Structure formats: structure tokens, C-alpha cells
Amino acid sequence: MTRAKDAFYFTSAIDYGFQRPSRPSRFIGEALGREPSRLSARLQVIEALQRFQRAPAPADAPLPALGVDDVLTVSYEAIDDYQRCALLYRFKHVLQIPVLPTPQMTYGLALHEAVKDYLRRKRDGETPTLADLQAVFRAAWLAEGFINPAHESERFQAGLAALRRFHDDERAQPAPDLVEQRFSFMIGNDRVVGRWDRVDRTPSGAVVVDYKAGADEEGSGRAQRAAGESLQLRLYVLAHERVYRERPVQAALHFLESGERGVITPTDDSIGAVRALVTSTAAKIRSRDFAPNPKNLRTCQQCPYHQICPSSLTARIATTTAVPVG
């Protein structure tokens, strides 16, 4: 105001998006010592914008259902995502919306690459060392998604420690039969695809092993509970049975940080239940049933799309939570 020479203009809009029209502050008149004159201007800029504004895009139309003869390809990840929430499946597997890397993702991928390289070399008759194992881990490590450098360093050291444990345990074990072997089989017109981390050949039969980077406390029993509830293990057993005409005698979840293993023995009932689940889930995907149905609040909290999802339970909690005053 102190730099004005001939005139000084205060501008304001009538509509700021509130329920009532906006009026200039009464303090303007008090500051000037008189009531300022008012000029009205046409909303020429707005009119120009409206004139050249593109027509709104049509609403997202529902996808047509797949025909009975169309082949639908699913994996364990796809089935698990659909079971957690159908809309999560749509975001991830239909729209393929990318997500930012997380600490768990970076950590797990680096561990997985190191273990894969070690087991492949061992299968091929080599004797890889701990230094070899950790070198692959270092090469695969990406400094992405961590809270801060201290968090990254803590996870990196935890990975090195997990690989030391793995190397100590693995040295006395026989070489695996299969490593990172892809599979594909049909259930009706549904193709199921995936990859076994490891399959061992024992005197009593095949054993399927899937490695997990998670930190189950040693002796906690959570590894066994996780294996008992694992859809992935049962699906991988079914895959081995369909591809090789041989049902594995066991399947195991191996937690790398703790070294704990959870083991299951497949049965006709468990394999039949998985086959039925694949068929029923695939039928819903075929019909394009993507209505949001999260299991609970935690499902939404852990979902990478919760910030853009209009049905996220986290948004409802945020809008209904009372904020204390004073």
C-alpha cells in the first residue's frame, strides 16, 4: 500500500467455494479511513476458460465380462489380492497403477536375489561362499523407500545377518532339484501361473519351499501358523501335482531372518479346497466383479492405493474421528 502512486485496488471474489457469497473485509474501510468505492467486473477469464474447456471424459465404463471360452490367467498374488479386496485387484492387475517402493519390497527383493543366485550355483555343482552370497545382496540393494538413512542401514545389516544364518544352515543341506522354476497349468479355461522358489528331492518325495524375508521371532511358532494358513503353499503343491503328476510330500515356508520353518503335509481336502477357491475367484474376475470388499480396516491401511481409493476405510475413519480441542 505504501508504494501506490495514483490508485490502489483491492480485489476479491464473490465465490470461493463456500456456502455463502464472500464480502470484502470491513477492516479495509477502517484502514483507509473511508468506505472504498466498489467496481464490478465481468468474469471474462472464467468465461474464456469455460468456452475452451474440454468436455469431461465419460465415466469409467464397466469392463465386459470374459466369455466362457476366453482364457483367464491368474497367479497366487492375483488370487490373494482379490480375496483381500476386489477393488485392490482392479487397481493392481487390471488398471496396473504403479506404486512407490516400500522398505519391505526393497529388502525382500534383495534377499530373494541373493538366495536365488546361491541356490542356482549350488544346484549346478558350485560351492558359493558367504562372501558370494552377500555380494549379490549388495548389488541388488536399492536405497529406495526407507524412512531415513538410519532405517536403511538397519535393514541392510539385518539382511546381511539373515544371509549369514542362511549360509550356515544351507552348507550341510543337499543341493536343490529346482530353483526359481516357473510353472503353468490349466483348471478349465483358467491358466494358473507362478514360480517355485525351491523344490527338493528327498527319499520320500518332493518338498516345495518358499522363502520369506519377514522376521518371525525364533521359537514363536508363528512360522508354523503361517504355513498352516498359507494359500500359496497349497497352490504351489497343486501346481507340482498338475505339472509333474506327483504330489509333494511336504511344503514349507522358510523365514530367512529367524531361520524358522513352517511345514505342512498336503491332503486331498486341502488341495481340493484350493482348486475350488481358484475356480470361484476366477469366476468373479471373469464377471468383472470389482466392487470394494476389504476384509477389515487393516486391509485398507496396508493397501498401497488407499490414498486414491474412494472406498477406503481409512478415509472414513479420518472423517469420523473427533479431534479434541483445548
CB 191 within 8 A of CB 184: yes
All three cell numbers of 47: 468465461
pLDDT of residue 43: 54
- What pLDDT shows up at residue 62? 66
pTM of the complete model: 0.76
- In order of start, what are the domains of the chain with their CATH numbers? 73-300 (3.90.320)
Return the C-alpha torsion angle 105, 219, 226, 159, nearest 10. 10
Predicted local distance difference test score (pLDDT) of residue 9: 72
State the first-to-last Cα distance of the chain, in angstroms, to the nearest integer: 37
Q: Where are the alpha helices (DSSP H) in the chain?
A: 27-32, 44-52, 76-84, 86-89, 103-123, 130-140, 149-170, 222-228, 231-244, 268-286, 297-302, 313-320
C-alpha cell at 120: 542356482
Specify the pLDDT at position 321: 41
Cα 215 to chain centroid distance, Å, stands at 18
Q: Say what the pLDDT of residue 319 is.
A: 46
Per-residue pLDDT of the chain (326 residues; tens, 9 = 90+): 667 777 777 777 666 655 566 777 776 777 777 776 766 665 565 565 666 666 655 545 567 778 778 999 999 999 999 999 999 999 999 999 999 888 889 999 999 999 999 999 999 999 999 999 999 999 999 988 888 999 999 999 999 999 999 999 999 899 999 999 999 999 999 999 999 999 999 999 999 999 999 765 555 688 999 999 999 999 999 999 999 999 999 999 999 999 999 999 999 999 999 999 999 999 999 999 999 999 888 899 999 999 889 888 876 554 444 434 44
